[in-house]
Amino acid sequence: MKYSLTRKLAVSAFLLFCAAASNPSAAPVAITGPTALALAAVVAQHSSLPAYDKRMMARLFGGGNAFFLSAKTRFSVAADNIVCRTSNVDIAARSCELTFKVIKKSVKGRDANELYATAATAGVVAEGAAGSNIESLAKLNCTINPKEIQQKAGGGAQCTFETGK
């Protein structure tokens, strides 16, 4: 009798655990510092930001001085949804879909790999099955303060986003 009761409880606990793991809810995440700067810089190059802001992001992320700063002290990098895919079967397959308000952009290859790896560094966990890995995040909003970044004190970049959608 004890054996069957223990077994039933174990099976029930296992099924409950699997159900909870298979239904991830949107989890808000906040990151700062170098990881936030990296995520903002990688997403910014594909966004609809003005060319000046894209150049400033590239220069800041590259470690250069943004001596050409304007009176604008802050700017934002935002994306509604980002979904990246890689494959364990077709090992050369890498792609990402980025959605910015009304614009949808697809990237492949090296650019997609850079975005996938940076999202993983920021804490986005890959999910998938049957040889595929999928990372997704939504409601990305990064605030960049170039003057604070140039102080080299660890601040100036903050991002928030949701995972698990």
pLDDT band at 143; cut points 50, 70, 90 = very high
pLDDT computed for residue 150 by the predictor: 83
What is the per-residue burial (b if ≥16 Cβ within 10 Å, else e) of 64-87?
Answer: eebeeeeeeeebebbbebbbbbbe
Lowest mean pLDDT among 9-13, 45-49, 81-85, 146-150: 9-13
pLDDT computed for residue 38 by the predictor: 96
pLDDT, one tens digit per residue, over 35-59 is: 999 999 999 999 999 998 898 888 8
When comparing pLDDT for 14 and 25, which is higher?
25
Is the distance from CB of 161 to CB of 29 less than 8 angstroms?
A: yes
Q: What angle do CA 82, 84, 86 make, to 5 degrees?
A: 180
Q: Is the pLDDT of residue 8 over 60?
A: no
The domain spans of the chain are: 26-163
pLDDT band at 131; cut points 50, 70, 90 = confident
**What percentage of residues in the chain have a pLDDT greater than 90?**
55
Q: Is the pLDDT of residue 11 over 70?
A: no
**Spatial distance between the Cα atoms of 58 and 49, rounded to a whole number of angstroms:** 12
Q: Is the pLDDT of residue 19 over 50?
A: no
Closest Cα to residue 123, out of 30, 4, 51?
30
What is this structure's pTM?
0.80
